[in-house]
Amino acid sequence: MNFPQPYTLKQIANILQCFYVGDSDFLITGCNEIHRVVAGNIVFVDHPKYYDKALQSAATVVLINKEVDCPQGKALLISEDPFRDFNILTSFFKPFQKAETYVAPSAKIGNNVVLQPGVFIGNNVVIGDNTVIHANVSIYDSTEIGTNVVVQANTVLGSDAFYYKNRPEGFDQLLSSGIVKIEDNVHVGSSCTIDRGVSAITHLKQGTKIDNQVHVGHDTIIGEKCLIASQTGIAGCVEIGNEVTIWGQVGITSGITIGDKVVISAKSGVSKSLAANKHYFGIPADDFRSKYKEIAAIRQIPELIEKVKNLQ
């Protein structure tokens, strides 16, 4: 999330009512969670396990719950509860805007766009020319849709990220301030859910086709000309290359990378990054040929047990 203009370290500390380490005039341009942070950003960290990752990240300012040595060229915001304070910044810079109509007046809709009955379009949405949005689709605030896009019925674009902190009183949600961006010639099937970024972008690149009942988690990037079959679930912060094929009911864990032209067979479980130009299958997903050899070997076990018994 970018701020409307740069803020000083002191100004941000005043918003959060917290102590800071660094030059009071140190300029900050936005805030992002750790997977998408860039120079000029604030990133938050509230567990010692991740201190080094946050402090050595591209972030200019680290919102942290302990005073530590500050890396050169950076600044710290010392907070009792960085998770809570990151939400305070989100609410301050990008507060929730209540919808007043089915199609927000601030939406920018191109030429020859078809909106079927029951479509909801939130604030500051952009839709390119020759796009078709079918019945009962919900498009949340600030979503960007390119030209020649088709979105089938009952799909939701831009819902909140599934990101929670477990507290004694219950789960606390990290507020979402990011967007969904869909490039040209993308097709999204019926009853899909594509979550917006926590503070950056969930991005579907040009030419990708998504089947019905697919879920795409926050801040995930899907490359060009991908095919994703029905009931696939993709967690947050996944990076998928170009021309990847993912067959039905595949589950993909968060924070991994899938290389170009990968094929993942149906019902596979992807728990680690996958190298490009290979075919994968199984739980956990592995090289297609190796996995089938493994299955073939397992099938021989009963026969081998019988042979051992007969030797006795």
Q: State the pLDDT confidence band at 68, using cuts at 50, 70 and 90.
A: very high
Task: Provide the whole-model pTM.
Answer: 0.92
Q: Which two tokens stand for residue 5?
A: 């203009």
Q: Which two tokens stand for residue 125?
A: 């949405």
Instruction: Quote the pLDDT of residue 312.
Output: 65
108-292: CATH number: 2.160.10.10
Active-site entry in 35, 203, 215, 218 = 218
Residue 18, pLDDT above cutoff 80? yes
Q: Do β-strands 209-210 and 187-188 pair in parallel, antiparallel, or remain unpaired? A: parallel
Residue 171, pLDDT above cutoff 90? yes
Helix (H, G, I), strand (E, B) or coil at 303: helix
Instruction: Quote the pLDDT of residue 10.
Output: 97
Q: State the pLDDT confidence band at 310, using cuts at 50, 70 and 90.
A: confident
Q: Which long-range contacts (CB under 8 A, 24 or more apart) does 2-9 make?
A: 2/29, 2/30, 3/28, 3/29, 3/30, 3/31, 3/93, 4/93, 6/40, 9/61, 9/75, 9/77
Q: Is 218 a catalytic residue?
A: yes
Q: Are 263 and 245 in contact (CB under 8 A)?
A: yes
Instruction: Quote the pLDDT of residue 306.
Output: 77
CATH 2.160.10.10 residue ranges of the chain are 108-292
How far is it, in rounded angstroms, from Cα 249 to Cα 252? 10
Query: Residue 121: beta bridge partners?
Result: 103, 139
- Across all residues in the chain, what is the average pLDDT? 95
Instruction: Quote the pLDDT of residue 194.
Output: 98
How far is it, in rounded angstroms, from Cα 34 to Cα 229? 29
Query: 3.10.129.10, 3.20.20.120, 3.40.1390.10, 3.40.50.620: which CATH number matches 2-93?
Result: 3.40.1390.10
How far is it, in rounded angstroms, from Cα 183 to Cα 278? 26
CATH 3.40.1390.10 residue ranges of the chain are 2-93
Instruction: Quote the pLDDT of residue 93.
Output: 96
Q: Which two tokens stand for residue 52?
A: 């080094």
Q: Are 22 and 74 in contact (CB under 8 A)?
A: yes
